[in-house]
Amino acid sequence: MNTPNNVSRQAPVSPPAPARRLEGERFVLPARILHWLMAILILAMLYVGAGMVSTVSARYPELLAWHRPLGIAVLILALIRLGVRVTHRPPPLPSDLHPVQAAGAKASHYLLYALMIAMPLIGWAMQSAGGYPVIMWKGFELPPILPHDIVVYGQLRRAHGLLGYAFFLLILGHMAAGLMHAWVRRDGVFESMAGGGDS
Domains in the chain, number: 1
User: Does a structural domain hold residue 176?
Assistant: yes
pLDDT tens figures, 142-198:
999 999 999 999 999 999 999 999 999 999 999 999 999 999 999 999 999 997 654
pLDDT tens figures, 115-149:
999 999 999 999 999 999 988 888 899 999 999 99
- Among residues 51, 96, 45, 50, the alpha carbon closest in space to that of 74 is found at 45
Domain extent for 46: 29-88+99-185
User: Does a structural domain hold residue 195?
Assistant: no
pLDDT tens figures, 6-40:
544 555 555 555 555 545 589 999 999 999 999 99
Work out the average pLDDT over 69-93.
95
What pLDDT sits at residue 22? 46
pLDDT tens figures, 31-66:
999 999 999 999 999 889 888 877 767 788 888 889
pLDDT tens figures, 83-112:
999 999 999 999 999 999 999 999 999 999
User: Does a structural domain hold residue 5?
Assistant: no
Spatial separation of the C-alpha atoms in residues 165 and 49, rounded to whole Å: 10
User: Does a structural domain hold residue 143?
Assistant: yes
Residues near 182 by beta carbon (within 8 Å), at least 6 away in sequence: 189, 190, 191, 194
User: Does a structural domain hold residue 23?
Assistant: no
Spatial separation of the C-alpha atoms in residues 105 and 91, rounded to whole Å: 13
What CATH number does the domain containing 155 carry?
Answer: 1.20.950.20
173 within 8 A of 142, measured Cβ to Cβ? no
User: Does a structural domain hold residue 118?
Assistant: yes
User: Does a structural domain hold residue 120?
Assistant: yes
Q: What is the pTM of this model?
A: 0.83
User: Does a structural domain hold residue 8?
Assistant: no
